[in-house]
Amino acid sequence: MVTGGAGFLGRFVIEKLNAFDGVEVFIPRSNQYNLIEKDDIVRLLNDTQPDLVIHLAAVVGGIGHNQKNPGKFFYDNLMMGAQLIEQSRLHGVKKFVATGTVCAYPKFTPVPFKEDDIWNGYPEETNAPYGLAKKMMLVQSQAYREQYGFNSIFLLPANLYGPGDNFDLETSHVIPALIRKCVEARRLGSEFVEVWGSGKPSREFLYVEDCADGLVKAAAAYDDSDPVNLGNGREVVIKDLVETFARLAGFEGEIRWRTDKPDGQPRRQLDTSRAWERFGFRAQTSLEDGLRKTIDWYETAFMARGA
């Protein structure tokens, strides 16, 4: 069973799972099962009786959306994770794969972020409720392995991007938002695009198909509660990233920085050695190749809706 299997990351995970012989995959839909409600989770597990649960479902968004919905982001993500793990244990699920977030790391984590540093401080304030709610699955995973012998693992993906991402400017993350802004500015002949923040922070981005590969490899071969980063181990300064977007999207106008808006965490770059050592995962897609594929996908979708 893959929660969030119809979503951005989930579609790529499903594609990789379906390549295995004899694997049957069930994708719960929100109009049938509300994963925030215990009774719906119990009914789901009774209906499907899965051997493996991969939990991808989340209530998520960019900095602005996090700032507007801290309570919802905390409660919904906490309830989904805690109740799914507990009910999976009670229903005899053989393995649970929990996906956390790079937002769980402390605001001032030494770079590159090592998994052992995850408790050494409070997360960046704009996304702390979301990050902490997801991090509770790590606590639960380790506690349940110790007390019940429950096989659950916890993965920490970097910021994802790729074809099929959320390009809604109100709720999207930085890459899809900026791709949309640059493409639309070029098509409309706009003289400038506005970008939140100063452009000085750095981020690490993981192409969505690489992340799906890492998740499936971990599901198949990793059986420990030590958290594991999924990333490519490379950081990029947001200013440089925006200039790359503009070049690839063919936008030649001005970039205007909204320094009155928050930057978020100062730096993000993951130490990815544990994923390689424990289950042989290493990202394959360069940032420029991934951005080009994502921009091409968005251009096609843009044209398809008659823009």
Domain extent listing, the chain:
2-165+204-235+266-285
**CA nearest to 12, candidates 58, 52, 41, 54:** 54
What pLDDT, on the 0 to 100 scale, is given for residue 25? 97
What pLDDT, on the 0 to 100 scale, is given for residue 249? 84
What is the fold of 2-165+204-235+266-285? Rossmann fold (3.40.50)
For residue 93, give the amino acid letter. Answer: V
| CA dist., res. 107 & res. 290, Å (int) | 27
pLDDT digits (tens, 9 = 90+) for 225-258: 899 999 999 999 999 988 988 898 888 889 999 9
pLDDT in tens, the chain (307 residues): 999 999 999 999 999 999 999 999 999 999 999 999 999 999 999 999 999 999 999 987 666 666 888 999 999 999 999 999 999 999 999 999 999 999 899 999 999 999 999 999 999 888 899 999 999 999 999 999 999 999 999 999 998 999 998 888 777 778 888 888 888 888 889 999 888 889 898 889 999 999 999 999 999 999 998 999 999 999 999 999 889 888 988 888 899 999 998 887 788 899 999 999 999 999 999 999 999 999 999 988 866 665 4
Clarify whether 144 is annotated catalytic.
no
pTM: 0.91
Q: How far is CA 268 from the centre of its chain?
A: 14
**Residue tagged active-site, from 33, 105, 130, 298:** 130
What pLDDT, on the 0 to 100 scale, is given for residue 267? 83
What pLDDT, on the 0 to 100 scale, is given for residue 65? 67
Q: Compute the C-alpha angle 32/35/41, nearest 5°.
A: 80
